[in-house]
Amino acid sequence: MGCANESGSGENASGNDAPQISVKNNSQIDFEDEVVSFDLSDGPEVEWSSKSLEMGGKIVPSQVVDRDGDGSPDELLMQVSLPAEGSLTIDVVEGRNTTSAKKKTHAELSIKTGGQGKDRVYEGGSFTDVDELAVPPEHTDHSWFVRYEGPGWESEKVGYRFYLDWRNAIDIFGKTKDDIVLQRVGVDGFDSYHEPADWGMDILKVGDALGIGALGCWSGEKALRMSQTDSVHCAIPVDGDLESAVRTTYYGWSTPYGKTDVISELSIRAGDRKSKHEIKLKSSCDSLCTGIVRHPEGELIKGDSQGDWNYLATWGKQSLAEDMLGMAIFYRTKDLLAVDEDEFNHVVVLKPPTKGALTYYLAACWEQEENGIKSKGAFEDYLKKAVQELDNEITCSLSGV
């Protein structure tokens, strides 16, 4: 969740000059283990990388994010719990204390090195994690070049991946325990993750669909995936304890409305099933869309929220494990053009951004998760709570600097 910054200066609440961050929940809902972000771009100059956050003498999990890679911090992330209309004060202390830090998110891109490509298939070699990749023009599906066929990103709750090839659809890794697991996926056989393992398994059959939350273009009759591009560059800009992200630039995406460059950033935060998808376009593209793969056992659920955010979801025995899986798209009400469908997808048609970014979220809930959601009613409760959280800002202010 973003944190709406409030101005603050001078002495802090305890009457001394030590820096403190005040955090307040102005809503009527409780936030538990919520990751909130404090914007550092316009704040005072503080060496945040050498600071820790404490409350009542205990370390508050935190992460400093340099999102644009310019060497200056952009955001300070904190994981906190706040009751309805509650507030708390966090001390900023000298020294980076990582003794209680636990990695709760991860993003990775792993490719084969030491072998060679032959007839569009990579033979030999071993997988190595990389920070970025200019996708080779000869790369295609089932080339055995990229581990689990694309980048992955995860919280301890759920993992996602997308196919870094012409398919460009998003898939789900379901987890049976709250843990970080991607580094173990696909290393003992290229597609071994389709079978149950000690961490979980791939749980979605994507086929010709968008999967869950991939970007497409709505032709008026069907969702067109980002299949035709001039080139693609993929990078891991953030890989931290509380947030991780994958950023992909598609050069020359060809649509019925012309070509455009697209920057897609998929991120996830600790304790969350939702993954944020931010889209920026070089030039306008009519009728962007996203969606959820249609499954015979998936019941469609349409949100009726009157707030800033709403959702489209499905629930039912639609996982590859043949058990209950819920999938959702959360979108801003003002961005919605239509809810539609085609042969393969439930489709959310969205207004393209004229400036800034188009933002929506995707989420998956699998019944085999630790403390998993096992009924339609519980899934609907989750959807409504998620919308309430998106609708309500937590405010932050910094004093003592």
pLDDT tens by residue, 323-351: 999 999 999 999 999 999 999 999 999 99
For the segment 233-241, the average pLDDT, to the nearest whole number, is: 97
Identify the pLDDT of residue 117.
Answer: 86
- Please give the Cα distance from 240 to 102 (Å, whole number): 10
- Please give the Cα distance from 179 to 337 (Å, whole number): 38
CATH class of 105-370: mainly beta
- Which residue in the block uniquely carries the two structure tokens 């000059």? 17
What phi and psi values does residue 381 have, to the nearest 5 degrees?
Answer: -60, -40
Per-residue tokens: 159 = 């993992």
- Please give the Cα distance from 378 to 386 (Å, whole number): 12
| Predicted model pTM | 0.94
Domains 3-96+392-399 and 105-370 fall in the same CATH topology:
no
- Please give the Cα distance from 201 to 348 (Å, whole number): 27
Is the model's pLDDT at 7 over the cut of 50?
Answer: no
Q: What is the DSSP string of 145-158?
A: -BGGGS-EEEESS-
Q: Which long-range contacts (CB under 8 A, 24 or more apart) does 224-228 make?
A: 224/255, 224/256, 225/166, 225/167, 225/168, 225/169, 226/168, 226/250, 226/253, 226/262, 227/166, 227/167, 227/168, 228/166, 228/253, 228/254
- Please give the Cα distance from 361 to 25 (Å, whole number): 22
Identify the pLDDT of residue 2.
Answer: 61
Is the model's pLDDT at 356 over the cut of 90?
Answer: no
Domain regions of the chain by residue span: 3-96+392-399, 105-370
Nearest to 247 by CA among 230, 270, 229, 266: 266
* Contact criterion met (CB below 8 Å) for 39 and 72: no
Residue 322, SS3 per DSSP? coil
Residue 261, SS3 per DSSP? strand
Nearest to 73 by CA among 219, 249, 238: 238
**Quick one: pLDDT band at residue 190, thresholds 50, 70, 90?**
low
Mean residue pLDDT across the chain: 92
pLDDT tens figures, 78-90: 999 999 999 999 9
pLDDT tens figures, 94-126: 988 776 679 999 999 999 999 998 888 898 999
Strand partners, 249: 233, 263
- Please give the Cα distance from 325 to 204 (Å, whole number): 9
Is the model's pLDDT at 172 over the cut of 80?
Answer: yes
Which CATH number is 3-96+392-399 given?
2.60.40.1180
Is the model's pLDDT at 4 over the cut of 70?
Answer: no
The gap between the terminal CA atoms of the chain, to the nearest Å, is 24
